[in-house]
Amino acid sequence: MSEKTLNTFEIVQQQIKDACTALGETQEVFEILKQPKSCIEVALPIKMDNGETKVFMGYRSLHNDAIGPGKGGIRYHQDVCIDEVKALSAWMTFKCGVAGIPYGGGKGGIIVDPRTLSIDEIERLSRAYIRAIAPVVGEQIDIPAPDVNTTPQIMGWMVDEYSKLQGKNTLGIVTGKPVAFGGSLARFEATGYGVALMMREAFRAKGKDIRGSKVSIQGFGNVGRFAAIYAEEMGAKVTAISDVSCCLYNENGLNVKKLYDYVNLPESKNMIQGFKGAEQEFDRNKVFEFDVDLLAPCALENAITSENVNSIKASIIVEGANGPTTPEADRIINEKGIFLVPDILANGGGVMVSYFEWVQNLQNYYWSFEEVQQKQEVKMVKAFNDIFYLKEKHNVSMRVAAFMMAIKRVADAMRARGIVK
């Protein structure tokens, strides 16, 4: 099958197959894990501000709940489709398994470009979505969270609507909420902070120091912004950053905190284009080509392909996005000896702190920002070391080692429950 015919769901199924083969796992386990346990499609009729009614389509997939309730974000994007949601829910199962937290994988999405909607329309859409999927989510069933184009405020609306349906406060139904409404400190920064931690550990594993290294980051949404900020704090020079508007480059290192402040100005429209103190390339894909030590793709899936992988000069790749590397590109990366930290480990900080938020909600006791980040660092460093050990022991890639670890944990739980023999 050529690379062009593979969608994200087929990619994750191949990754599961590769890991099961490396583990010597049974066909029965593969057959269960290659499909989600359930996936629903919902139609959401919304009254628009102009009085018209428009119907939006949404999805929620629960991949596996052998270890614990499902966990995974909700994305609002015009390219959302059912196969993408299924794939992302499977990745979430393995991301939770890698992190060693008692969750399975879930994922949801709505086919919508939120830039075309008003705030009131987004609120009505968000409330309609949580009402529609209410029968298949719950604090001990499947717990949504923010993802692409969804925010703490949207999570707050969803918790409020779900609580009305249940007739009681159910703060643990959704994570990534505003801190004032049951959210956790350090949750907003968690995914990007985790990516930066994995950058540091990747350099350490290669016998190098992150201090003084050159880093390029594709994407300057929530993940890319905080990955850049924390990498800079750890001593790296972030020399290139791209988003949908352009690519910025400064060989001496961009001032990331100033860039962060710039994109939050109303006139910037949340884009990096126009930022002073850097060369500006209108071809945003230039970010892959710079002579840097580490590349972090932190945007959408399928960013690194067979068409651009050979232009990458970095010796380390840390995947901040979900599924940013196609299988063919992954093969070439391995052949070139590039050290790659896979998405299910590298961007696991978000789900890890979501788990911490859920724990805090259930016990109604809340931790400080520093406590949360300390707990995240301990768990992510341990996960990295465990996977690196498997990589060295079995002479496989970090990606295969990560899937091996996660699938073994899920398979062991399924056997303990009697789902498989």
pLDDT attached to residue 8: 84
Domain contains 394: no
Q: Work out the average pLDDT over 77-103.
A: 94
Determine the residue type at 174: V
Q: Work out the average pLDDT over 105-130.
A: 97
Rounded CA-CA distance 239/180 in Å is 36
Rounded CA-CA distance 46/133 in Å is 15
Cβ-Cβ contacts under 8 Å for 246 (sequence gap 6 or more): 271, 272, 273, 280, 281, 282, 284
Determine the residue type at 401: A
Based on the fold, state whether residues 155 and 284 are members of the same structural domain: no
Nearest to 243 by CA among 192, 282, 204: 282
Catalytic residue among 34, 37, 107, 214: 107
Based on the fold, state whether residues 109 and 148 are members of the same structural domain: yes
pLDDT attached to residue 6: 62
Domain contains 112: yes
Domain boundary (311, 337, 363) is at 337
pLDDT digits (tens, 9 = 90+) for 186-238: 998 999 999 999 999 999 999 999 999 999 999 999 899 999 999 999 999 99
Helix (H, G, I), strand (E, B) or coil at 306: coil
pLDDT attached to residue 417: 96
pLDDT attached to residue 1: 42
Based on the fold, state whether residues 133 and 218 are members of the same structural domain: no
- pTM, two decimals, is 0.90
pLDDT digits (tens, 9 = 90+) for 38-69: 999 999 999 999 999 999 999 999 999 999 99
Half-sphere exposure of 280 (CA within 13 A, CB side): 12
Q: How many domains would you assign to the chain?
A: 2
Give Rg (Cα) of the chain. 20
Based on the fold, state whether residues 242 and 319 are members of the same structural domain: yes
pLDDT digits (tens, 9 = 90+) for 77-89: 999 999 999 999 9
User: CB–CB of 244/284 below 8 Å?
Assistant: yes
Domain contains 410: no
Domain contains 311: yes
Domain hosting residue 122, numbered range: 36-168
Residue 379 annotated to the active site: no
Domain contains 249: yes
Domain contains 395: no
Based on the fold, state whether residues 40 and 147 are members of the same structural domain: yes
Q: Domain of 101: which CATH number?
A: 3.40.50.10860
Domain boundary (337, 372, 407) is at 337
Q: Domain of 245: which CATH number?
A: 3.40.50.720
Please check the confidence at residue 3 and state whether its pLDDT lies above 70: no
Cβ-Cβ contacts under 8 Å for 43 (sequence gap 6 or more): 55, 56, 57, 58, 132
Nearest to 250 by CA among 215, 219, 220, 282: 215
301 pLDDT tier (thresholds 50, 70, 90): confident
pLDDT digits (tens, 9 = 90+) for 4-37: 556 889 989 998 998 899 889 999 999 999 999 9
Based on the fold, state whether residues 237 and 125 are members of the same structural domain: no
Based on the fold, state whether residues 234 and 108 are members of the same structural domain: no
Based on the fold, state whether residues 196 and 330 are members of the same structural domain: yes
Rounded CA-CA distance 176/360 in Å is 12
User: CB–CB of 278/248 below 8 Å?
Assistant: yes
Based on the fold, state whether residues 160 and 199 are members of the same structural domain: no
Based on the fold, state whether residues 264 and 324 are members of the same structural domain: yes
pLDDT attached to residue 292: 97
pLDDT attached to residue 214: 98
Based on the fold, state whether residues 42 and 160 are members of the same structural domain: yes
Mean pLDDT of the chain: 94
pLDDT attached to residue 7: 81
pLDDT attached to residue 127: 98
DSSP calls for 95-124: HHHHHT-S-EEEEEEEE--GGGS-HHHHHH
For residue 317, what is the enclosing H or E element? strand 316-318
Domain contains 95: yes
Domain contains 330: yes
Based on the fold, state whether residues 149 and 209 are members of the same structural domain: no
Cβ-Cβ contacts under 8 Å for 212 (sequence gap 6 or more): 235, 236, 237
